[in-house]
């Protein structure tokens, strides 16, 4: 189980570091929030959504951080400077790493405290789902940054 835990800590951290890198690679502040063509969510919006998602499902739900998610704001906030997005990513990285590092073997095989689409799933299942969700949107950020 230690291998699973260390692998998940490493993979979440790697992908969140890549998100930080993508945000830095935008040519300017405005382009982070631009909506070219038929793209519906900006890189900034996706960044806020990913951080909110992980701080809620990992931080608050598994780590009892007290974080209260306001999902609508993840999609309505605009023009947050890159420095603010970077601070959010850094905070998320720390919360995820701390929370996952403190999970026990029993925690991984226990039911996740919240239902996923109306059914109970294991914490391991939910963590793998969250990692794939992070990767899906990270690809969208990369596509958006390159001009969609």
Phi/psi at 138 (5° precision): -60, -40
Q: What angle do CA 85, 68, 82 make, to 5 degrees?
A: 5
- Domain range for 75: 2-145
Q: How many Å separate Cα 58 from the centre of its chain?
A: 9
Output the CA–CA distances (angstroms, integers) from residue 131 to 14, 28, 31, 36, 76, in the order listed: 11, 28, 26, 27, 24
pLDDT of 142 higher than 90: yes
Give the pLDDT band (50/70/90) at residue 1.
low
CA–CA separation, 123 and 145 (whole Å): 33
Can you read off the two tokens belonging to residue 36? 């070219």
Predicted local confidence at residue 102, as pLDDT? 97
CA–CA separation, 25 and 20 (whole Å): 9
pLDDT digits over 129-139, tens only?
999 999 999 99
Q: Who wins on pLDDT, 38 or 60?
A: 60
- Split into its structural domains, the chain has a count of 1
pLDDT digits over 18-53, tens only?
999 999 999 999 999 999 888 899 999 999 999 999
| pLDDT above 70 coverage of the chain, percent | 99
Predicted local confidence at residue 36, as pLDDT? 85
pLDDT digits over 73-89, tens only?
999 999 999 999 999 99
Give the pLDDT band (50/70/90) at residue 15.
very high
Helix axes 43-54, 123-145, angle to 10 degrees: 170
Domain of 97, CATH number, reads 1.20.120.450
Average per-residue pLDDT for the chain: 96
């Amino acid at each position: 189980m230690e291998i699973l835990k260390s692998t998940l800590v490493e993979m979440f951290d790697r992908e969140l570091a890549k998100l930080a890198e993508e945000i830095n690679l935008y040519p300017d502040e405005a382009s982070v929030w631009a909506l070219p063509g038929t793209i519906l969510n900006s890189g900034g919006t996706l960044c806020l959504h990913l951080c909110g998602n992980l701080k809620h499902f990992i931080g608050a739900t598994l780590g009892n951080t007290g974080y209260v998610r306001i999902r609508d704001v993840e999609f309505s906030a605009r023009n947050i400077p890159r420095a603010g997005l970077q601070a959010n990513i850094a905070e998320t990285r720390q919360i995820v790493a701390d929370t996952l590092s403190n999970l026990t073997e029993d925690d991984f095989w226990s039911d996740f405290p919240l239902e996923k689409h109306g059914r109970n799933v294991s914490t391991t299942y939910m963590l793998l789902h969250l990692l794939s969700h992070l990767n899906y949107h990270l690809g969208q950020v990369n596509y958006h940054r390159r001009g969609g």
